Each structure stands twice: as C-alpha cells, then as structure tokens.
Structure 1
Amino acid sequence: MAEKAMISSKLHLGYLELNYSVSGHTIGTGGAEAEQQQQQSVTEEVLERLCPPTCLESFILRGGYVGRQLPNWMCAPESAEFKSIRYLTLENRPFCTQLPDGLCCLRSLEVLDITDAPAIECIGPQFQASSSVAARGSDASTSAPFPKLRNLQLIGLCEWEEWEWNDCEEHMDVETAIAMPCLERLHIDNCKLSCLPPGLASSKRHNLRELNLYEVSNLTHVENFPSVVDLDVFDCPELKRISGLAMLQKIRITRCTKLEVLEGVPALDSLRLGDATMDTLPEYLRAVHPRYLELYSNTKLHECSSSPCSSEWKKISHIGKRDINCIEDSDTSSDGYSEED
C-alpha cells in the first residue's frame, strides 16, 4: 500500500507529515523478540516505500516510529537529491540509536527539530560531516555541511552523552567550510552531555546568537562562544563555569547550583538569576556589571539581599537596576523561569 501511494511521483507536494500510531505494536510490552523484530522491519520498509518527491519543502515524522533506523533516502548520498527541504522534524523515535548521516547534505535545510530519541547515546562526526562528504560541486559557498541551517533543536535525547565533531574544519582556510555556518539558534534540552564540542564554538562562527541549555545534567562549562548574545541555562546541576562570551548581552541562570565562575562577559546588559534553594548569593555577581539584575530567591535570601546593611546586598549594590523577587519556599518549580520570556 505504501508503494501504491506513489508519494514520490507527486511533483507539486510541498508539505508531508507522517504520524505513527503505537496501537497494535507489542514492542517494549513483553512481546516475543521475533515478533518485535518483524514489526520493526515492516515499519522501516513502509517508511522506505513512502519516499517523498525531491521537491518537498517540509517533512515531519511524528508518533511512535518503532523502526531502528531511518530510511535510505535520508542517508547520503540519496539525501542530497532533496534540494528544497527547509523544515525537518523527527519526533518520538524510541529505538533509533543514531542520526542518519545524510541530513548534512540537505542544502536548503533551515530548521531541524529532533525530539524524543532516548536510544541515542552519541552523535558522531558524520552528523556534521566534513565538506568532502557533504559537498556537491566545487562552489565553496555551498560546500559546508548544513549550509543554510539557522535553527537546531535537540530535545529529549535523554541518554545522549557525547557529541563528536570533525575538528579538522578548524584548520581550513575557507571560512564557509565550517559546519552550520548560518546557525543562529541552538536549543538542547534533557540530555547527559558533559561538554559542547569545540567545533561548535569555533571562532569562525559569527551567526550563533541564541544558546539554550535546559536540563543538560552533566554539563560542566560553557566557554568561548564569540557571537552568542542570549544565553539561557536551566537545571544544569554540574555547571561550574561560564566564560569567554564577549558579545553576551542577556543571560538567564536558573537552578544551576554549582556555578562558581561567570567572567569574560564585558557586554552583559541583563542578568536573571533564579534558585529557591540558594542560601547566599553567588560570589561571581561581584565581578559582573550588568545594567539590570532580576533575582528570584527564597524568603530569607530575599530579605538579606534587599537590606543595604547585609553582606548579600554588597554583592549586587554596584548594579544600577535591581528587581528582587521572593519565591515561596515550597514552590521550587518555577524559580522565575518562563521559557516564553
């Protein structure tokens, strides 16, 4: 039936959304191993046969896709034929252990959203492969992997621990050869990364403006992002250091209890700090000079930081505009945090 649909022949198709249903599947519910493998194989084959036309602009794969791998048409070199895809969403793929290597070959891709892929533990260099793999033709302006990608979201890769990056690009003379040269916004939510790859923080990367790091449980530092102006770190319990963000103007720090160092942020204009568990204000506040501070703390610290006679007040007295708010001691769920802000 998937083959008879002849999706690939629909030459004016611009938007395709495939929604999988988990009803009827016994995978992960105690079914026999042979039956589970059969269901996975059928699921993979159906998606392979539903290959869209290369004129497609938006593709969304939703629902409980139980296949172990994505189709060949998402892998190199076949993926390079999809020259018009601008928006790609891959959602809820519980059994896929790796991302297809062909995504970097999508020459027009602007937005990539990968959500709920808990079996992925490592993203290897093939994801943002070297230009020799991704390039089609000799034009240096289009040889970079992900040449037009502006927005990258990686959400719910809860076992993801390692992001390998092809660092050889750092030694290339052609500036556009770095992967994702147009990246403006990166959002990472709910994973076990301990560090961000140096290739992502390349000195040649001039367009990355917004960096959101939510519930990155093992992350220890965020350093040397030369163009980031807006940084949001939320529930990163091991984060100890933020430094070397020369263009940073706005930062929000929520429930990052081990953060000790905030430095190398000369352009900082606005700082929002929220944590109902804080007993004292962090020492790094003495060394930064934002125009505006928004503070969310428990009742006790709120009283101390509002009193000009206290040692806590002295940590923030040099900041011109201060908005000090009290969080109810029993309410540690928000800490002044709103993703829409």
Structure 2
Amino acid sequence: MSHNRSNLPQLRDQLFLTDGGMETYLIFQQGLELPDFASFHLLQTPEGEEAIRAYFRAYAGIARRYGTGMVLDTPTWRASADWGARHGLDADALVRVNGRAVSLLEELRDEFAPVPVVISGCIGPRGDGYVPDAMMTVRHAEAYHQAQVDALSATNADMLCALTLNYVEEAIGVTHAARTAGMPIAIAFTVETNGKLPTGQSLGSAIRIVDGATSGYPVYYMVNCAHPTHFAHLLDPEEHWVRRIRGIRANASCRSHAELNECADLDTGDPLGLGASYAELRRRLPQLTVLGGCCGTDHRHIEAIASACMPVVA
C-alpha cells in the first residue's frame, strides 16, 4: 500500500525537491525520441527504464546533500486516452503503463532510502499544455481523466498531481475524478508572461473557483511551466489563495509559451538566478515546500534551488 497517501509529508515544514524538465532534458540533452513529449514510451524497453533511473538518481544525490525529501512524479504526463491512442495504446495498455510507472518509482524509493520519497502519479492536460484548445466541460473532464486516475489509484502512488493545466473546468473535473477514487491531488496551473492562465483568467480567480467547486479538495496548488518573473509579483502572502500554493516548478527560460514553441534549441536560462528567485519566493511564502523545475531545467537548476534555499548537511 501507499506509504503516505493519508499523511503527505510535504504538507509539513520539510523541503521536498522534485526533478526538473524530464522531457526537455531527455530530448535535447540526451538525444532520446519522445514524440508528443510522451515519456511513458521509456517504460516499454529496459533501456528506456534505465534512462529514467539514471535521470532520477542525479536528483536523489542533491536531496541527500541538502537533507531534503523528494517528490517523484511518474513519467505519465501523456499516459491518458487521447495521447495513448496516438501511439497505439488501448485502455488496457494504458493501465499497465501507469502501473509500471509507479512500480519503477517504488524501486527507486527503496534505492534512495533514507531520503523521504513521495510518489506522485502525474496527469497531464487532455489538450496542449500551452493552448486551451478543445476545452471540456467539468463533466467531460471528469469522465476523460477518470480512467487514468483509477489506474494510478490502484497502485501504491501516494498522491496525484495534474500538471500544466490551463483552464478551470479541466482542473475541477480531474479533482472530482480524484475525489471519486479517494486520491489526494495537487493542481498545477501554468500561466503566461502576464501571470494569467492562457484563457486570460487570473491565477487567483482560478484557484478560488476550483476550491469553491470542490470544497477545497486539492491538497495544494502549484505553478508550473512558467518563469518566476511571470508570476512572482502576484503572490501576495496576505491573500488566502496564495497560501494555497505550496509548490513551484518553473521553467528555466523567461520566454513566453509561444516563443518556446518556436525554439529549435533548449533555453536553459540562468540556474543561479532561478535559485535566487526561489529563495526570495520561499522567504515571502514559507509554505512553499515543494520546489522543482519544468521545461529547460535539469539537475543544475535543482542544485541551485536547493543551495539557495537550504544549507548543505552532508
């Protein structure tokens, strides 16, 4: 059974690191082919699984040096029905993929002991992470995500995290699906350079609406796939919705989503500058206990974040 499902340790004071941008690192820096950023392909071969192990081991070393925990997200951001069908996977195959993703991270959790590890079942948007195309109603979003939520809830995953969501109806729907399955879930919105969701809605409004529609069911919120310069100035610690944000997984680049889509190269930004911006955010918002990266970030960025936010303990 899950180690932490009813008692998530990152809800206390200890800092938990995540990894960086898995897909951008593996594609641009390791030369792997991941069509549609579908890292679940790696679970289909021994070589792919070893690439995942090697990837996470670099972050485990950082966690050991700085005395933090780790939140390990499964490589299942694209392992839902529409994306799976694009790659020839039917419903049964997707259940197996989601299950194997968790069991692989269980193996790593044992390997990384005594570092505290939370296994998070990663759910991505039905559509493009940057563009709110083909927006669903709440009911349709719940129905769409229920299959992957159920597949992950049948494993030893401790929680779910829906990453790179860009409109509230999908966030509400996946939260309802998680509640039906009895799974804790974190909701991570992405924002544009103006700090608003791609729909033009403010981050504060989105969090308030999701909380209102779900009786505050998400265990916390995150911001991911945006640079701190896009949203940090909006996070007023006196606002209740801001206090619901416990995690940041920022991009390395200050570029907009549109600019990133057009890039042929990888913009890795300034790791030390990114670390400093996280330290300033954590100074103002001490509830931020889940820190990691998204597009363009790798172990260098997470090391800089840990160094800026924590003393070395070993």
Q: TM-score, normalised by structure 2?
A: 0.31
| More helix per residue | 2
Q: TM-score, normalised by structure 1?
A: 0.30
Q: Which has the higher contact order (CA 8 A, sep 6+)?
A: 2
Higher CA-based Rg: 1
| More strand per residue | 1
